[in-house]
Structure 1
Amino acid sequence: MITNTQSGTNVQEIAEGIYRINTPVQLPGGGFNFNQYLIVDDKPLLFHTGPRRMFPLVREAIAAILPPERLAYIGFSHVEADECGALNDLLAAAPDAVPVCSQVAAMVSVNDLADRAPHALGDGETLDLGHHRLRWFDTPHLPHGWEAGLMFDDSTRTLLAGDLFTQGGSGKAALVESDILGPSEAFRRAMDYYAHAPNTGAMLERLAQESPITLACMHGSAWRGNGAALLRALAGSLGQRQDKAA
């Protein structure tokens, strides 16, 4: 469903009750895209806010699914413009919503940046939306940011994967089952945004052990398939880079 014909912003369900909001953009060097994920439930959650200037488009897209003021939670992986740039705009639009982030993010940034106190989740803590139960995974420096974390929906086995598997282009296909590791690794090698921390492989293995079926990527198409195998393949690719650097 196209929600804004001028920008091309669109919404599509990628798992039960989980909708990808996608906006293609033109940046120096080529096309790119920004995704947010709206989970429709008793307590709706939006994961990623998009940049501040994209707020009108995101609000319009949310309104195509549910009234924005119904939002209960606004979550994000780490503090960065595309993750939480429109946070305060969304908090103003949804008077009962609270930010959701890691305990480290709350301590170092969000307690100061947000207009409303955050709900800071500890590693492994669960957020109950009604039908969907989201678990928080601390992933410091994966792919970057001391405060980074990801969320996993137990009911649909969907990993809200943040910057993992970033793909360039418009992200026109909302959900694919084809290879995204190749395109995402090509994108990363051209402008590497990973911290390459010593425990990156262990964190990816921990996520793989949850056996996700759907990966909700912030940039590019969402993906469906054997998520454990894909996460382990990413760990192998990153490990090869570290071996070469050593």
Structure 2
Amino acid sequence: MIKTTEIAPDIYCISIYTPEFNLQFNQFIVKDDEPLLYHTGMRRMFPAIHETLSKIINPSQIRWVGFSHFEADECGSLNEWLKVAPSAQAFCSTVGSLVNLGDYADRPPRGMAKDEIVSTGKYRFRFLPTPHLPHGWDAGMLFEETNQILFCSDLFLQTGNVEAVTGSDIIDRVRNALIKSQTGPLMGAIPYTTKTEQLLREMAALKPKMLATMHGSAFAGEGERAILDLTLLIKEVLGGR
């Protein structure tokens, strides 16, 4: 099941719900002078995402392809997108570029330092390195400064086939998903390190008005409060491990 929603001016969420995981996989496309795709989706999802994205923009016009960390749902179909968009360049953290994309990507990627900007025309995207949050050493987040949207990858993970955007508190949903992730094959997916709380508080200080997550509903509201609530939740669930 695939659906498209404009979650903010010129920013669209393409969401694929997979019943076998009871999980949504969200890709974000920014319609601007230099279109940006954030999250590529898995390789097997590429045909469906490509067809859906084609109704928003011409895929060959994509200029930027970004993601948080090296993982199949984040960048699995990267090279398929690079083939259909000849001017596109992948971008990720400097670490991600050095240890993963420099070899994986069919064209040289752009490694991003802290607070470095990607401009698409009307919109500016600031890169925030977040090592080991949500997962690997190479992780990072993206903050769109005009609409104040934080693209926060697997933070605020929610299960189920939920609405594209909600203004309701999502912490209970996140709590349920986080607790469930502590058993079975996903155990330990999100580490708790000496830097976890600091990184979350730095993101909260941006005072985002929307939190665009990879899995589940984007949250429209007081993002600072939601991130501080998440900080307490992560410490409660993961900090004692």
What TM-score does the superposition give when structure 1 sets the normalisation length? Answer: 0.93
* 2:145 paired residue number: 154
Structure 1 unmatched ranges of 5 or more? 1-7
Are residues 1:16 and 2:12 paired? no
Amino acid at match of 2:115: G
Q: Tell me, yes or no, if the aligned pair for 2:11 and 2:29 is still in contact at 8 Å.
A: yes
Matches within 5 A, 1:49-198: 49-171=40-162, 173-192=163-182, 193-198=189-194
Displacement after TM superposition at 1:22 (Å): 0.4
Structure 2 unmatched ranges of 5 or more? 183-188
What TM-score does the superposition give when structure 2 sets the normalisation length? Answer: 0.95
Take 1:84 and 1:241, find their aligned partners in 2: how far apart are those partners?
28
* 2:207 paired residue number: 211
Sequence identity of aligned pairs in percent? 38
Take 2:59 and 2:133, find their aligned partners in 1: how far apart are those partners?
30
Identify if the C-alpha distance between structure 1 residues 91 and 157 changes in structure 2 by more than 3 Å, giving closer, same or farther: same
Take 1:243 and 1:68, find their aligned partners in 2: how far apart are those partners?
43
Amino acid at match of 2:47: P
Take 1:244 and 1:161, find their aligned partners in 2: how far apart are those partners?
24
Are residues 1:26 and 2:22 paired? no
Q: After superposition, give the CA deviation of every residue in 1:118-142 in whole Å (9 maximum; x if it has no partner).
A: 0111011111111110000000000
Take 2:239 and 2:157, find their aligned partners in 1: how far apart are those partners?
22
* 2:233 paired residue number: 237
Identify if the C-alpha distance between structure 1 residues 243 and 222 changes in structure 2 by more than 3 Å, giving closer, same or farther: closer
Amino acid at match of 1:18: I
Take 1:35 and 1:242, find their aligned partners in 2: how far apart are those partners?
25
Q: After superposition, give the CA deviation of every residue in 1:166-215 in whole Å (9 maximum; x if it has no partner).
A: 111123x1100112111112111111421111111110000000100011
Amino acid at match of 2:205: Q
SS at match of 1:152: strand
Matches within 5 A, 1:30-45: 31-45=22-36
SS at match of 2:152: strand
How many residue pairs get aligned? The number is 235
Q: After superposition, give the CA deviation of every residue in 1:48-104 in whole Å (9 maximum; x if it has no partner).
A: 000110000111111010000010010000000000000000000111101010000
Take 2:239 and 2:72, find their aligned partners in 1: how far apart are those partners?
32
Take 1:32 and 1:127, find their aligned partners in 2: how far apart are those partners?
29
Q: Tell me, yes or no, if the aligned pair for 1:143 and 1:196 is still in contact at 8 Å.
A: no
SS at match of 1:162: coil
Take 2:141 and 2:238, find their aligned partners in 1: how far apart are those partners?
23
Q: After superposition, give the CA deviation of every residue in 1:3-61 in whole Å (9 maximum; x if it has no partner).
A: xxxxx21111111111000011121xx52111000011111100000011000011111
Take 1:47 and 1:234, find their aligned partners in 2: how far apart are those partners?
23
Displacement after TM superposition at 1:156 (Å): 0.4
* 1:223 paired residue number: 219
Higher alpha-carbon deviation: 98-107 or 235-244: 235-244
Root-mean-square deviation (Å): 1.1
Take 1:132 and 1:124, find their aligned partners in 2: how far apart are those partners?
15
